[in-house]
Amino acid sequence: MADLVTAGKILFASRRASHVVTPGRICIRDTKASWDSASAQALAADACTALFSGMLFGRHASAPQDHSDAAVTAARNFIEKNLGSAHLSPAMIAQNVGVPLRTLQRSFSDSDDTIMAFIRRRRLQNAHADLRRLGGTARISEIAARWQFADASHFIRHFKALYGSTPASYLRNLDGRGTPE
């Protein structure tokens, strides 16, 4: 059986030794366990295809960049599931993904982003969607709190930097024209 670790880690331990398989690595093991989902089966099939293709054509399937990309993908997936959590932090993400914090930070910087910039941008995008959905009934301070901004002024400053207007201006334009942007 082959497992491609995309988040967390797999720990194999015996009395004499232990081994950890981190995101971006393929673990091939002998077991009778079945796969839980179709997506896991497709992921394993893709991993095996990449592994065997690399063997046939002389490419190395486990380049350091592959590990970096897998760590960032796993981190982004974890972030998406936990965007509303007040406890979401780079350390929490690294622990869940199964890589050291500094490794995760370097992996994000390779993708021209930082962990916190990605989190902030995704929270702002969700806040933007809330504003659009709620329209005139939206309360900016409630949306700021829902998406874990320290206060409304931080939210307003970041919103304006990303969207070019304050949330209040955005709402006025939404009410006046129907669909801003």
Which mean pLDDT values do the consecutive 10-residue runs of the chain (181 residues) have?
69 77 68 54 64 60 55 90 94 89 89 91 96 88 94 95 94 68 47
Closest CA to 105 of 125, 89, 121: 89
**Looking at residue 64, what is its pLDDT?**
43
Distance CA 9, CA 7 (A): 6
Please give the Cα distance from 159 to 128 (Å, whole number).
Answer: 8
- pLDDT score of 57: 62
Q: Give the pLDDT confidence score for residue 65 in this predicted structure.
A: 46
If phi > 0 it is left, if psi is from -120 to 50 it is alpha, else beta; for residue 112 that is left
Q: Is the dihedral of CA 34, 39, 40, 43 positive or negative?
A: positive
CB 85 within 8 A of CB 93: no
> For position 97, what pLDDT does the model report?
86
Question: Residue 25 CB: number of other CB atoms within 10 A?
Answer: 19
CA distance 1 to 28: 5
The whole-angstrom separation of Cα 79 and Cα 97 is: 10
How far apart CA 137 and CA 85 sit, in angstroms, is 24
User: Quick check: 25 and 62 in contact, CB under 8 A?
Assistant: yes
